[in-house]
Structure 1
Amino acid sequence: MPVELAFELAAHLESCPEIAAAFGEGLRRAANPEQAAGEAEIFSGAEALEAVAADWRAIEREGALLTPFQSFAVAAAALPAHLEHGQVPHIIVVREHGETRAILPLVATTMAGSRVLRFLGDPLIQYGDAILPGAGNEAHLMQALLAAGKLGADAALFRKVRTDAKIAGVLSRRAHVSNVEEAPYVDLRRESGLPPRDMRELRRYRRRLGEQGEVKLHITRGPEALPCVNRALELKRDWLAIKGFSSSVIGDPHWERVLTSLVTGHAELLACARLETGGRLAAIEVAITHGKRWHAFLGAINPEFAKYGPGQVQMADTIEYAREHGFLAYDLLAPADPFKRVIATGAVAVCDYALPLSLQGQVAARAFRFAPQAKSLLGKLPAPLRRAAKSILRLH
């Protein structure tokens, strides 16, 4: 992964005085902590999730989750993947007056020799957050972060935190922003259209696809959607290999198994949108749904139809399907790209935060800030050079 390269570079480029100065700033922050409330209890290991299941599910029934990526179902599906990778779950529960006020689900990982805490579910989850009931507040989250600091990690790296996330406020004051992206979305309550030029191009794509046969969108859930999800993963793996890109999820059998287990065990969470032309697959979207929000999680196209723009047609038709079936928003997720920005009606900022917890954690935090630039540099290389660089640097 680019972050591993960043760790190595940061370890060589950072000077000791600079690190010490930065660590001193971290100590000054810690000496003036924000108000914390409640008492924290830490559950660790393979049984940690089951130990907090009742409290987590109670908060979920309350309707307090902002995204599906904080659901207990996603956490339970992700747990085996973490364990297979040797990552240790640590779930922090903050209680006050006997009532649960916050749950912070983390896993301990190792990155280039540093002990790092990350959200449970990362890298699969597209939004990271803590789990708070209506009675929870930032003081309870502060207590959870203080408890996380006692786990012996060098740093905590909180990725993909929306600006409206429960944990965003306290992280924005206590941690360093290492990366900022946009997650575009379509407000389905508004009748929005593409700019004239893009609308003409979409009609042209649709016409050219129609010349190959009838264009039709199929939406499936549950076991019926499993072949669709498997095909999407296969197409995405092939595309990544051809382009010389890598993914922490696609191509990793443990993380891919998380998706297949969710589609078969939680039909309400995963849907598969399959665009066909003349009965043949043209494009696929795997979506994660939550309440009235449709999240476009994974897209893939059949290369046989690539020149006909099947992905754009599939997305346009899926948006209309979501609108007709009562969804209020179609979330394109981060990062934004030109096509996403064209069809979106708005966007929310998504930040990565680095929280140093030790002197070595200062190096980790700086490396994490450099990781997006490393990824961008690799992405600009021709595919053969990207593959060679990954092989030499052992980036996964």
Structure 2
Amino acid sequence: MTMAAVIERRTAEAPARSRDSRIASVEIIPDLASAEPAWRQLEAQGQLSTPYQRFDLLSHWYREVGARENAAALVVVARDGERRPLLLLPLVLEAWHGLRLACFMGGKHTTFNMALWDAEFARQATLADLTALLAPLRAQSAADVLALTQQPRHWRDVLNPFALLPRQPSVNDCPVLAIAPGAAPTDLLSNSFRRRLKGKERKLQASGYRYHVASSDADIDRLLDWFFRVKPLRMAEQKLPDVFAEPGVEQFIRGACRAPLPGGGRAIDIHALECDEEVIAIFAGVADGARFSMMFNTYTLSERARYSPGLILMRSIIDRHAEQGYRALDLGIGSDDYKRMFCKDDEPIFDSFIPLTLRGRLAAPAMSGLNRTKRMVKRNQTLLNLAQKLRHTFR
């Protein structure tokens, strides 16, 4: 029996079970089309969610990647007594070593995972509300474990209510650059670093390069055609697996980059440096008016790579978003050297493994321990080197 068939029998609305909660009902929805109206409502201005949880991004991921991997949609919507949505959990149900895991949609392509919240409700949410949310999931045995990873502790200065649940630090940190209102360019990047980039930039000037954000479908298609030619070569150069070659990933990225947002822009924005002869570098990411988060990038294989075009493009992106009043910028999880050049702080992100069934009570501590071990290895250079050697050997 497929995962989708299991969920299909559990679509009835289930009453929340706490009189102390504003949540009056919880609905478990097995398809994105039925969940879309509540989803769109919770994306509206004044609500609280990250741009990674936009319907226009995750619907492309689910159709092109999640469904190919036999993941089944499991969207959880909590409503108040007047049927207004208070929160939406965009989950999929996956099989893992004989267990049913409910995980956030987006897989490895989302840096941050979070529910979509009514902002007022998020600010006032209590443990009683979360208990009311989880009760129907436990009652219906919709999954064995809620594996909720890479959640930001705060978003737009509001505490993520899921931080009230048992939690632990995520495997990886996320370097972040905080942008104070009215910050001078030298507050964001030091004068010495800017001078270094200026020297490299002068050498690129001979190419007559330009910086821009792709706005037309034709520009988006052209830049992605280049990206999918160059990125596999860069990944092979670094002896890394090419995640962009996995089934459906290219179609997901192309669809999300072209998906228009109601207020303008695209679900994924592409920033580029180009000259007449070639594309020099691109950085693509998500933005919500307050924060830019990078998703993927690459740079040219030509001699122009000697002039650090990726760093020059990143500086341009930072300056652009600072001028637009953004408050933060991140380059995704991981502590690559180039990320630390720009982002000196770390975003607190956490994981929660919540058991929903008896089997889940046995599995959740093991999953928690596995992630703690991974985090420890990432922070011990000797263990990390050993793990990388073993991975290369078995590959």
Normalising by structure 2, we get a TM-score of 0.78
Deviation, 1:255, is 2.7
Q: Hey, what does 1:7 align to over in structure 2?
A: none
Pick the aligned partner of 1:112 from 71, 81, 97: 97
Q: Deviations over 1:338-378 (max 9, x none)?
A: 43333347542222333343213332232233334567889
Q: For 1:348-387, what aligned pairs fall within 5 Å after superposition?
A: 348-356=347-355, 357-372=360-375, 380=385, 386-387=391-392
Deviation, 1:64, is 0.7
Alpha-carbon separation, structure 2, partners of 1:135 and 1:198: 41
- Amino acid across the alignment from 2:221: L
Aligned pair 1:159/2:158, yes or no? no
Alpha-carbon separation, structure 2, partners of 1:328 and 1:240: 32
Pick the aligned partner of 1:144 from 127, 133, 139: 133
Deviation, 1:220, is 0.8
Question: Is this contact kept in 2: 1:94–1:140, CA < 8 A?
Answer: no
Question: Is this contact kept in 2: 1:42–1:90, CA < 8 A?
Answer: no
Question: Is this contact kept in 1: 2:29–2:35, CA < 8 A?
Answer: no
Q: Hey, what does 1:84 align to over in structure 2?
A: 68
Q: Deviations over 1:86-140 (max 9, x none)?
A: 0111111112213222211211112333322111222222211111113422443
Percent identity, aligned pairs only? 19
Pick the aligned partner of 1:191 from 181, 184, 196: 184
Aligned pair 1:64/2:47, yes or no? yes
Question: Is this contact kept in 2: 1:175–1:355, CA < 8 A?
Answer: no
Paired residues in the alignment total 354
Q: Hey, what does 1:264 align to over in structure 2?
A: 258
Q: Hey, what does 1:251 align to over in structure 2?
A: 245
Report the secondary structure of 1:250's partner residue: helix
Normalising by structure 1, we get a TM-score of 0.78
Deviation, 1:246, is 2.8
- Amino acid across the alignment from 2:310: G
Alpha-carbon separation, structure 2, partners of 1:383 and 1:306: 27
Alpha-carbon separation, structure 2, partners of 1:156 and 1:106: 9
Q: Hey, what does 2:338 align to over in structure 1?
A: 339
- Inter-CA distance 229–375: structure 2 relative to 1 (3 Å threshold): farther
Where in structure 1 are there 5+ consecutive unaligned residues? 1-32, 392-396
- Inter-CA distance 55–126: structure 2 relative to 1 (3 Å threshold): same
Deviation, 1:313, is 0.8
Question: Is this contact kept in 2: 1:94–1:143, CA < 8 A?
Answer: no
Q: Deviations over 1:181-217 (max 9, x none)?
A: 1331251731132334423321232233335x22321
CA RMSD of aligned residues (A): 3.1
Deviation, 1:327, is 4.4
Question: Is this contact kept in 2: 1:210–1:277, CA < 8 A?
Answer: no
- Inter-CA distance 234–288: structure 2 relative to 1 (3 Å threshold): farther
Question: Is this contact kept in 2: 1:162–1:168, CA < 8 A?
Answer: yes
Q: Deviations over 1:319-349 (max 9, x none)?
A: 2333445545433333344433333475422
Q: For 1:219-298, what aligned pairs fall within 5 Å after superposition?
A: 219-223=213-217, 224-246=219-241, 249-266=243-260, 267-277=265-275, 279-298=277-296
Q: Hey, what does 1:93 align to over in structure 2?
A: 77
